[in-house]
Amino acid sequence: MRLVFAGTPEVAVPSLSAIAESRHELVGVVTRPDARAGRGRRVLRSPAASWADEHGIEVRTPRRPSDEEFLAWLRDTAPDCVPVVAYGALVPQAALEIPAHGWVNLHFSLLPAWRGAAPVQHAVLHGDEVTGASVFELEKGMDTGPVYGSLTERVRPTDTSGDLLDRLATAGAGLLVAVLDAIEDGTAHAVPQPTDGVSLAPKVTVEDARVRWDDPAFAVDRRVRACTPAPGAWTTFRDERIKVLPVALGEFDVALAPGELAVHRAEVLVGTASSAVRLGQVQPAGKKPMAATDWARGARVAAGDRFA
Instruction: Flag whether 65 is marked binding.
Output: no
Cβ atoms of 279 and 235 within 8 Å: the answer is no
Which has the closest alpha carbon to 51: 101, 23, 14, 97? 14
Cβ atoms of 198 and 115 within 8 Å: the answer is yes
In angstroms, what CA-CA distances link 175 with 15, 106, 144, 165, 304? 9, 8, 19, 15, 52
- The secondary structure element, H or E, covering residue 295 is helix 292-299
Residues whose CB falls within 8 Å of the CB of residue 268, separated by 6 or more in sequence, listed in order: 261, 262, 278, 279, 292, 293, 295, 296, 301
Cβ atoms of 271 and 234 within 8 Å: the answer is no
Instruction: Flag whether 110 is marked binding.
Output: yes
Instruction: Flag whether 71 is marked binding.
Output: no
Instruction: Flag whether 111 is marked binding.
Output: yes
Binding-site sequence positions for (6S)-5,6,7,8-tetrahydrofolate:
109-112
Binding residues: 109-112
